[in-house]
Amino acid sequence: MLFGLGKLFYVILLLINAIAVLSEERFLSRIGLGRSANEAPVFGQSENSTKSKVVQLIGAVQTLLRIPLIGINILVIVYELLLG
């Protein structure tokens, strides 16, 4: 099997890490995905738009998964160093 569960786990972990390290001031606000830009919907914009859901997902990942990601990353690094 070319693409197993281990590789899928690594891909998911790397994507979550990428979302977790996005800087709101330096990157997200420039492309219009900052939390301050999405506080209240403007005229004609629904509250449950795709953009607002993406902003909420990024905020949730950065808030809830910051500490567990540190532990998971340490475990993956130790696993790779020992069993390569």
Residue/partner pairs of 31-36 with CB below 8 Å, 24 or more apart? 33/58, 35/59
Tens digit of each residue's pLDDT (9 = 90 or more) over 31-67: 776 666 555 655 555 667 777 787 778 888 888 888 8
Is 80 exceeded by the pLDDT of residue 3?
Answer: no
The pLDDT of residue 31: 73
Looking at the predicted structure, is the pLDDT value of residue 15 above 70?
yes
Structure confidence at residue 61 (pLDDT): 85
Among the listed residues 44, 46, 48, 66, the one whose alpha carbon sits nearest the alpha carbon of residue 56: 48
| Model-wide pTM > 0.95 | no
Contact status, residue 51 vs residue 57, Cβ threshold 8 Å? no
Q: Which residue would you say has higher pLDDT here, 17 or 49? A: 17
Burial class (CB in 10 A: 0-12, 13-18, 19+), 24: middle
